[in-house]
Amino acid sequence: MITIKDIAKAANVSEGTVDRVIHNRIGVSKKTEAKVKKVLERHNFKVNPVASALALKKKHQISVLIPEHDDSDLFWKSPYLGVLKAAEDVKNFGVQVSSFKFNQSDPISYLKAFKALLETKPTAVIMVPNFSNETKQIINRLEALNIPYLFLNIDIEGFNNMGYVGQDSCTAGYIAGKLLHFNNLQPCEFLIIQSSHDITKNNAISNRVKGFKDYFFKNEINSTPKTLKIEDINNVLETKEIINLYLQTHPEIKGVFVPSSRIYKVVDCIDNNRLQDLKLIGFDNTPQNTECLLNDSVSFLISQKPFDQGYKSVRLLTDYLMQNKMPKHKIYLPIDILIKENVKYNGRDEFISDKNNTVK
C-alpha cells in the first residue's frame, strides 16, 4: 500500500508538505501543490478518513534535552538543526517538538533545563545524557511519570532507554587507528590527546579511545598508543606548552588522535615546524575542523552525522507515538571518513533555519 512517505519521496517534498496538500491546508505553493496532486493521482492515493481524523485529534509532545553550542564549540549545533528539520516535518501530524539547552559543563544547568522540559508535559523525551548522577535523577523522574526516553549521541548502559541514536564509537575509534597506521607505515608511535572535560563526561570519547587502542592490539602491531591528558584545553598558553614539550621529548610520535570535535584547538597549539611532520585525525566537520582539513593541518576527520542523529531521533519517536512502532535499541549511523577533497559535500546544516523552533 502506498504511503505518505512514498508520495513525498516520489514528489521530492517533505511528508509534511504532502499532508498539507491532502488536507487542503495553506503553506504550499501552487506549483508544489500541483506536483504533489499529480503523484497522488498517479498512485490512486486515497485518504483513510478515520485514521486522518484520529491523527488530527491526537497531539503529542516530544521534548529534547540537548547541550547548547557557541562559536568555540559548534558541534551541538548540527544535531540541534536536525531536530529543527524533523520538528517542521512532523508538526502536521500533531507532534510538537521543543528543545531545552543546557551548559554541558554545569550540572545545575542540566537539571534546570530538565525542570523546564517537564513543564511541557512531554509524551516522550530525547536526551543527551551528560552527567552521571544528574542523569540518574532525570531518568528516575521520567520513569516515575512513565515517559519513554531515547538517548542521543551519548550511549550509557544500565538504563531503560527505548534506544540510542548515534555513532558506534568503538568502531569509529578502530577506523581512526587503521587510518593513522596506514598513513604511517614506517616504525613510529601514536599519541592520543584528551581534555579532562571529555574524559570525565563523555562515554563516546572513552569508547573511541578503546577502539583506537584495539586496532593496534588486535592486529598485533608493535605500537602502544600513548595518552596525553590536558586539564584545560581552552587555556591556550598552558596547553601549547604541554603539547609541544611532550612532542619534543617523544620525537618518535608521527600520528596524533584527538577523539573529540576539538582537534582544531590541538592544531592551534602545535608549533608549525612539528605540525608538518605529523598526521592528525579527529572528529566532526565543524567549521574550525574543516578549515584544518582544507589547509592540510589535519589528515582525516571522522563524521558521526550529527545532523542526521537529531533528525532521526525525532522521526523514530514520532513513528512510535503515531504507529506504536518500537525502534531498534541501537541505531548506528554511517561512519564517514572525510578528507580535503570530499568534506565540502558532507554538510547540509547551512540549509536549515532555526528561527521557527521553540527553544528554552
Q: What is the pLDDT of residues 88-108, one digit of tens each?
A: 999 888 899 999 999 988 999
Taking the C-alpha atoms of residue 315 and residue 122, their distance in angstroms, rounded to an integer, is 16
Taking the C-alpha atoms of residue 258 and residue 95, their distance in angstroms, rounded to an integer, is 39
Neighbour-count burial of 135, counting CB atoms closer than 10 A to its CB (0-12 exposed, 13-18 middle, 19+ buried):
buried
Taking the C-alpha atoms of residue 282 and residue 300, their distance in angstroms, rounded to an integer, is 7
Q: Which residues contact 175 (CB under 8 A, 6 or more apart)?
A: 211, 302, 335, 337
Residue 150: CB atoms within 10 Å:
23
Report whether pLDDT(289) > 90. yes
The mean pLDDT value of the chain amounts to: 87
Taking the C-alpha atoms of residue 52 and residue 229, their distance in angstroms, rounded to an integer, is 56
Q: What pLDDT is recorded for position 234? A: 83
Owner of C-alpha cell 572528529:
283
Q: Do domains 4-54 and 59-167+305-333+346-359 have the same CATH topology?
A: no
The whole-model pTM stands at: 0.76
- For the segment 135-193, what is each residue's pLDDT rounded down to a tens digit? 999 999 999 999 999 999 998 888 999 999 999 999 999 999 999 998 877 778 999 99
Query: What is the architecture, at CATH level 2, of domain 169-303?
Result: 3-Layer(aba) Sandwich (3.40)
CB 171 within 8 A of CB 287: no
What residue type is assigned to position 215 of the chain? Y
Q: What does the pLDDT average to over 317-321?
A: 92
By C-alpha distance, which of 111, 128, 69 is closest to 313? 128
- For the segment 17-37, what is each residue's pLDDT rounded down to a tens digit? 887 788 776 678 888 989 988
Report whether pLDDT(199) > 50. no
Taking the C-alpha atoms of residue 360 and residue 351, their distance in angstroms, rounded to an integer, is 23
Taking the C-alpha atoms of residue 261 and residue 47, their distance in angstroms, rounded to an integer, is 46
Query: What is the architecture, at CATH level 2, of domain 4-54?
Result: Orthogonal Bundle (1.10)
Domain segments of the chain as ranges: 4-54, 59-167+305-333+346-359, 169-303
